[in-house]
Amino acid sequence: MTNQALAPYQAALLTTPFHSRLAPLALADDWLRWGGYTTVNCFSGVATEYFAIRNSATLYDISPMRKYRIAGPDAMRYMNRLLTRDAAKIRPGRAGYAVWCDDGGKVIDDGTVFRFAETEFRLNSQEHQQCWLEDSGLGFDVIIEDVSEAIAGLALQGPLSCTVLKQFGLDGVANLKPFDIAEYPFEGGALTVTRTGFTGDLGYELWVTPDLAEILWDRLMEVDSLYRVVPVGSKAVDMARIEAGFIQTNTDFMAAETVAHINRRRSPFELGLDWLVDFDKGHFNGRRALLREREAGPRYRVVGLDIEGSKPAQDALIYKGRARQVGFVTSAIWSPTAKRNIAIATLDAAYANRAEGLWAEIYVNKELKWDKTVAPCRVVERPFYNPPRRRATPAPDF
C-alpha cells in the first residue's frame, strides 16, 4: 500500500465579513449554518435578544443571503418573465417582495427585489439560484451576476432603529417609506439603506462592500453609549418572524427544485401569496399552471393558528374533530408580545377557513421524555403582531 499525501485541511464553512466582531460576543457558542456560512444562532440568551428586537435596536448579520445583480437592456422584460408579480410596478429606488415559480407553478424561492435604476435590479434570496436565473435568461440581453460575496449586510431592527441611524448621521433617513432605498457616502465608499426587514417591526437593512463591514459595525456600536444596540442571532429573529406571520423557505414550504416528493411543492396560492400573482402583465414562468389552479382552487393553504395553552406546537399535527388529520405545523412559538400560543401551519384547503373545530396534537420534551397533549386551535389572520411603527412615515423616535 503506497502512502498518499493527505489533502490540506479546508474550513467546512465560510465566515462573513462581520465574523471578527461577532465571534467575541457569541458567549453561548451557538452557531448556525446558513448558505455555506457560519452565523450566530444565539449570542448569550434568546429572551434578551428577542425583547431587544421589540424594545430597542438590534443588529443581525444577513451577509449569507444570496444576492444577484441583474442588469441590461432586457432587465425589465427578464424580471417580468421570472417573477409572478409585475416588476414594472417596483419603481427605481424601491424594493418589493416577490416569488418565482417553476413551469408547474410551484414556488422555487421568495425574496426581495431591489430596483436601483431602469435597467438594474438586485434579487435577494434564501437559496442559491444562479442556475435557475441563467436558464430563465436565455434569449434576454441581460447580465446575471452572483454578487453575494461582494456585499455585506446588516439588519438594524427595532423601535430605536431609526433613532440610531439619525445619530449615525444619515440625514433624511426618517422619511424613507417601507421598501424605499437610499444611498449615503460612507468612508470613501457607499452605504445602501433599505427600509426592509424580517421582524415585522420598524427596521432597516444596511449594505456595504466587505472592506467596510467592520467599520460599519464599529460605528454603529459607538451609538450604543446613547441607545442600546444589541447583536442578535437567528433564534430571536425567527421568533419575531413568526409573530410577523412571515413564511420561510425550507421551513414553512420546500423550495420546488429541492423536493424529493412532488406533493411537498407549494404554489403562491397555497402559500397565501395570491396578491403576488399578476396575470395581466403577460407571460411568466408557471403562468399556465397557475391559471389552471386559480380555476380549480388550491389543494392546501398556509394559515395562522391560535392554539390554546402555552406549549409551543412546533411540528404538531392538526386534526378535525380529533380523528381526521388535516394539516401540520411548520413554525410555532409562545409569543411573549402577543401573549398567545401561535403557529404557522399547512392545512387542507377545505379546512383553511374554519375558525373552530380543529385540534393540535403537540409533543413536548420533558427531560428526555416526550409527552403528548391535545389542544384546541383555530385559524386566525396573520400577522399575529403588527405595530403601527412598522409602516409609520416619518419613522417615530422613541
Would you kindly state where each structural domain of the chain is located, as residue ranges? Answer: 14-63+151-232, 66-139, 299-385
What pLDDT sits at residue 8?
A: 54
CATH entry, 299-385, from 3.10.129.10, 3.40.50.2000, 2.60.120.10, 2.40.30.110: 2.40.30.110
Q: Note whether 158 and 220 are within 8 A (CB).
A: no
Grid cell digits, residue 210: 466587505
SS (H, E, C) the chain: CCCCCCCCCCCCCEECCCHHHHHHHCCCCEEEEECCEEEEEECCCHHHHHHHHHHCEEEEECCCCEEEEEECCCHHHHHHHHECCCHHHCCCCEEEEEEEECCCCCEEEEEEEEEEECCEEEEEECCCCHHHHHHHCCCCCCEEEECHHHCEEEEEECCCHHHHHHHHCCCCHHHCCCCEEEEEEECCEEEEEECCCCCCCCEEEEEECHHHHHHHHHHHHHHHHCCCEEECCHHHHHHHHHHHCCCCECCCECCCCCCCCHHHCCCCCCCCCHHHCCHHHCCCCCHHHHHHHHHHCCCEEEEEEEECCCCCCCCCEEEECCCEEEEEEEEEEEECCCCEEEEEEEEEHHHCCCCCCEEEEEEEEECCEEEEEEEEEEEECCCCCCCHHHCCCCCCCC
How far apart, in whole angstroms, are the C-alpha atoms of residue 48 and residue 175?
A: 30
What pLDDT sits at residue 118?
A: 97
Grid cell digits, residue 282: 403577460
CATH 3.30.70.1400 matches 66-139: yes
Q: What is the mean pLDDT of the chain?
A: 95
What pLDDT sits at residue 1?
A: 39
What pLDDT sits at residue 334?
A: 98
CB-neighbour burial class of residue 120 (10 A; exposed 0-12, middle 13-18, buried 19+) = middle
Share of the chain above pLDDT 70, in %: 97
Q: In angstroms, how far apart are the furthest CA atoms of the chain?
A: 73
pLDDT digits (tens, 9 = 90+) for 290-338: 999 999 999 999 999 999 999 999 999 999 987 899 999 999 999 999 9
Q: Which residues of the chain fall below pLDDT 50?
A: 1-3, 6
Query: Which residue in this structure is represented by grid cell 404538531?
Result: 316
How far apart, in whole angstroms, are the C-alpha atoms of residue 376 and residue 378?
A: 7
Q: Which CATH superfamily is domain 14-63+151-232 in?
A: Probable tRNA modification gtpase trme; domain 1 (3.30.1360.120)
What global pTM score does this model have?
A: 0.94
Grid cell digits, residue 68: 444577484
Report the relative pairing of strands 57-61 and 229-231 from DSSP bridges: parallel
What pLDDT sits at residue 260?
A: 85
Give the type of residue at 175: N
